[in-house]
Amino acid sequence: MNMTVGVIGLGNMGGGMAATLVRKGFAVSGYDLSGSALARAEAQGVNPVAQLDELIARVDLLILSLPKAEHVEALCLGAGGILERGRAGLLVVDTTTSTPEASRKVAAALAEKAIGFIDAPVSGGPKGAATGSMSMVIGGSDADLAKARPVLEAMSGTRVHIGPSGAGNVAKIANNLLAACHLISTAEAVSMAAKAGVDPEKLLQGLNAGSGRSGATQVMFPTWVLNKAYDSGFTMGLMRKDVGLASDLCESLGLDLPLSRQVAALWQASAETLADGEDFCCIVQRSDSQLYAKGE
């Protein structure tokens, strides 16, 4: 019989994950602080639960999709949370882009009560969550991963077990540092070529056939930038958080990486002109406000 699943955080990502699992035959319950997120999930077959402790008691596996590490820590270790209310044998899959320290701390605390925890941050955006095609980089034990496998396989297309607890978030932070960098460097290269008289669409075809290609040239520019849609479902606020996580990780390791430092400075400075709720692809506008102006 399929495991029963609970999803905590039914936003752009968690809402899609929950709907995917319903479609794949799992009994899914969901919890969110936002009534509208709960209602959207209910319309997709998720059983909405108003009380967190009720959800924790009801399921075999809990998926977290929360904004930040501090939300994960509060929900797992805080009053009325998973440590207090969860039973031995419960398994928590945290898909939040969080910190390696938070993952290790929560995993160690939950292990005292025989509750499993894996950090499994994701890529692929809301579309990947809604279609079950996300990729996951995973930190945790082989045993917990094996137990979670049927659910992970239903909600993602690719999974890489990176290492022990926290390793998934190290990999995710490295991934998003590169994505943040590629978005700016591609914006500059496309703007340069446009000023030299080259059509951006043609340039992208050339880049994607060459060694300059990346997620920015293959996905972000064609899907959200050049068509001026800026509707990826991933916000400036969340990407600034992720770039900040990379800066914090470098600092904690005593590393001074000049390019990463500059990328972080550009993303943090963008807060002056781009609100947290704007699409993260809007960062390209700092490179060329005319070429990358939003569509009407």
HSE of 278, CA atoms in CB hemisphere, 13 A: 16
Verify binding: residue 187, ligand NAD, rule CB under 6 A: no
Verify binding: residue 245, ligand NAD, rule CB under 6 A: no
* Contact assessment for residue 175 and residue 198, using Cβ atoms and an 8 Å cutoff: no
Give the Cα separation of 206 and 165 in Å (integer).
Answer: 40
Q: DSSP string of 132-193? A: T-EEEEEES-HHHHHHHHHHHHHHEEEEEEEESTTHHHHHHHHHHHHHHHHHHHHHHHHHHH
Question: Which of 203, 241 has the CB closer to ligand NAD?
Answer: 241
Verify binding: residue 6, ligand NAD, rule CB under 6 A: no
Between β-strands 61-64 and 134-139, what pairing exists: parallel, antiparallel or unpaired? unpaired
Please name the residues in contact with 50: beta carbons below 8 A apart, sequence gap of 6 or more: 31
The site string for ligand NAD over 20-59 (x = CB under 6 A, - otherwise) reads: -----------xxxx--x----------------------
- Give the catalytic positions in this structure: 172
Give the Cα separation of 150 and 17 in Å (integer).
Answer: 14
Verify binding: residue 238, ligand NAD, rule CB under 6 A: yes
* Contact assessment for residue 180 and residue 243, using Cβ atoms and an 8 Å cutoff: yes
Identify the residue among 20, 96, 175, 214 touching ligand NAD (CB under 6 A). 96
Verify binding: residue 13, ligand NAD, rule CB under 6 A: yes
* Contact assessment for residue 4 and residue 20, using Cβ atoms and an 8 Å cutoff: no
Verify binding: residue 132, ligand NAD, rule CB under 6 A: no
Verify binding: residue 270, ligand NAD, rule CB under 6 A: no
Question: To the nearest whole angstrom, how small is the minimum distance from the Cβ of residue 123 to ligand NAD?
Answer: 6
Identify the residue among 97, 169, 214, 287 touching ligand NAD (CB under 6 A). 97
Question: To the nearest whole angstrom, how small is the minimum distance from the Cβ of residue 177 to ligand NAD?
Answer: 13
- Piece of the chain touching ligand NAD by CB under 6 A; list 100-108, 137-145, 231-239, 258-266: 231-239
* Site residues for ligand NAD per CB under 6 A: 8-14, 31-34, 37, 65-67, 71, 75, 96-97, 122-123, 125-126, 233-234, 238
